[in-house]
Copies of this chain bind each other. A is one copy, B any other.
Amino acid sequence: MSQPGESLRDRKKRRTRAALERATVRLAAERGYDHVTVEEIAAEADVSVRTFFNYFASKDEALIGADPEAGPRMAERILAAPDDVTPFQAYRDSILAEITDELNNARDLWLLRKDVLMQRPDLLVRAFANSAEYEQLLASAVGQRAGLPESHLYPRLLVAAGSAAFRCAVTRWALDDSVALGDVVGDALDLFGTGLAHVPHHHEGGTS
Point out residues on A near B: beta carbons under 8 Å: 86-88, 121-123, 125-126, 128-130, 132, 135, 146-149, 151-154, 156-158, 160-161, 163-165, 167-169, 171-172, 175-176, 184, 187-188, 191-200, 202
Q: A171 CA to B121 CA in the complex, in Å?
A: 24
Other than A157-B192, A163-B164, A192-B192, give 13 A-B pairs with Cβ distance below 8 A. A87-B199, A88-B198, A122-B129, A129-B129, A147-B199, A149-B202, A151-B176, A153-B168, A153-B184, A156-B168, A157-B191, A157-B196, A160-B167
Choose from B87, B123, B151, B165 the contact partner of A157 (Cβ within 8 Å): B165
Does A157 lie within 8 Å of B188, measured CB to CB? yes
Instruction: Tell which of A128, A152, A192 has the most Cβ of chain B within 10 Å.
Output: A192
What B residues does A200 contact at CB under 8 A? Answer: 154
Chain B's closest residue to A200 (CB) is: B154
